[in-house]
Structure 1
Amino acid sequence: MIGIRNITQITIGGVSPFNIADHVALPPFTLNNIRDLYAQYTHETHQPFSDEAIQKVFEETQGQPWLVNRLGSILTLQVKPKTTDEIKLSDIEKAIQIVINEKNVHFDYLFEKAILYQKTVESILSREVKYLPYDNAQSWLIQYGVIRKSDQHAVIANPIYQKILSSLLSTKMFNSQKFKKKIFISYCHDDRQWLDRLTFYLNQIKHQNIDIWFDDSIQTGTNWSVAIADAIQTSHMTICLISPHFLNSEFIRETEIPAIQARQDEGMIVFPILVESCLWYLIDWLKKMQVYPKDNNFLSEFDEKEQKKQFIEMVTEISQLLSSE
């Protein structure tokens, strides 16, 4: 979650009330919370904040904890350092421009989540969008802290995020941001041999800033269904290993595929691989897509030499698809 699930690199050295430990879960600050936080600094240094300045911080951040603390640091360490002069409304404007133009991990997270749900973010930035509690993209963007509900509309979480994301969109930088690309692999455990064959070749393109996720990545004690749902939501591509076992799996059919389809609507690439003979062509969702191998043959029908050739061709195409994202 942007600034709520992960709060990182908040303060610049020394003891400061604007220091929050890494990986702290916090709800948005209220106006009174911000007033109290800044009062701690005033008590220690005798440098006051005007009421208008505090109100402006609240309006621009909507209480987003990282932003509130980062602005506090910028105000006291860059805009008006080592003085007891009052921090005024004009100082807040300067601090906002500094934070908007700086490079930091927090905004990297923001960009990463916005790219995953680019279509929804673009819609919210460009027009009024009705808040839909059961909309998959909106639900995840709210959890990540990118958007919030305002009256009956879905809006960007705060004006600072609005400025940053609007700038990103206007300069057409969404697709050019160089973030790690994640591949989620959907498969049935009965097809483990095919998973192992595929990952042997996928591992060879990891140096292209590609991450590969399947259920072996789930740590002991983790709720595996939640982990899988989160992996799908944060992936740029899903590879489906299509077989009779895959099509017969209730969990894949009822849980994974709806989540994959929802992400596909937001631009995630789906790459179906036919591994064993099955009735895939009767599945509306699958028959509308390009399947691999491209001649619609099943990998199990090829000899060993041809299988290797097909894996190399498919992984090459996977690399090219992710590179063009």
Structure 2
Amino acid sequence: MGERVQVSMFLSWCHGDAKAKGTLLDALHLDGLAGVRVDWWEDSHVKISEDWRGQILGQLATWDYGLLLLSPGFFASRFILDVELPRLLGPDVDKVLPMMLKRVPVDGSWNLHSVDTRQIFTSRGRCFTETRGPSRERFALELATEIRRRVLSDAA
């Protein structure tokens, strides 16, 4: 097996979307990607009694890529808007990978805080929660493939 490009990925998500996030991560299978190793981090990795804010800020200072799980709750979260997005959309904005977990209008009726200036991943125009069965598996496979393509392109 050849060398694998190793990257760290910060997962930005709304806690109200825990079920959908869990289903997506179960289907992603990033360990199976050829040529890429993704070590992802999310705030649920913070252990009891740890400084959760400090842990998040520390991870935000060291990430290679940020996977944004977009949803109405994501854009309603003060912590995401005030703490995570300013760091994710800062100088390294080109390393942000937004994907549509739950449908959010991109017609200007919602303030998407400049996330909509980046290409947002959907599968055939559908967000993750609009898929079931084989379509859901295809969504996860396509997202994993896009993550791999992006990482390998940046590493070249």
TM-score by length of structure 2 reads: 0.81
Structure with larger RCO (C-alpha < 8 A, sep 6+):
2
Cα distance in 2 between the residues matched to 1:195 and 1:179? 25
Percent identity of paired positions between Structure 1 and Structure 2: 21
Cα distance in 2 between the residues matched to 1:284 and 1:246? 11
Cα distance in 2 between the residues matched to 1:298 and 1:234? 28
Query: Unaligned stretches of 5+ in structure 1?
Result: 1-177
Which residues of 2 match residues 1-325 of structure 1 at below 5 A?
180-200=6-26, 201-205=28-32, 208-262=36-90, 265-266=91-92, 269-282=95-108, 283-293=112-122, 295-325=124-154
Cα distance in 1 between the residues matched to 2:152 and 2:23? 22
Per-residue deviation, 1:247: 1.0
Cα distance in 2 between the residues matched to 1:277 and 1:195? 14
Map Cα deviations across residues 185-230 of structure 1 (whole Å, 9 max, x no partner): 1001111122212322244347833211001221222211111111
For the structure 1 residues 186 and 280, does the alpha-carbon distance in structure 2 shift closer, same or farther, using more than 3 Å as the test? Answer: farther
What SS does structure 1 have at the residue aligned with 2:60? helix
State the Cα RMSD in Å.
2.2
Per-residue deviation, 1:308: 1.0
What SS does structure 2 have at the residue aligned with 1:324? helix
Name the amino acid aligned to 1:204. Answer: D
Per-residue deviation, 1:279: 3.2
What SS does structure 2 have at the residue aligned with 1:211? strand
| Dislocated runs of 4+, deviation >6 Å | none
State how many pairs are aligned: 146
**Contact 2:31–2:37 (CA<8 Å) still a contact in 1?**
no
Which structure shows the bigger proportion of residues in helix conformation?
1
Cα distance in 1 between the residues matched to 2:43 and 2:30? 16
TM-score by length of structure 1 reads: 0.41
Cα distance in 2 between the residues matched to 1:196 and 1:287? 24
Name the amino acid aligned to 1:305. Answer: P
Cα distance in 1 between the residues matched to 2:33 and 2:46? 19
Which structure shows the bigger proportion of residues in strand conformation?
2
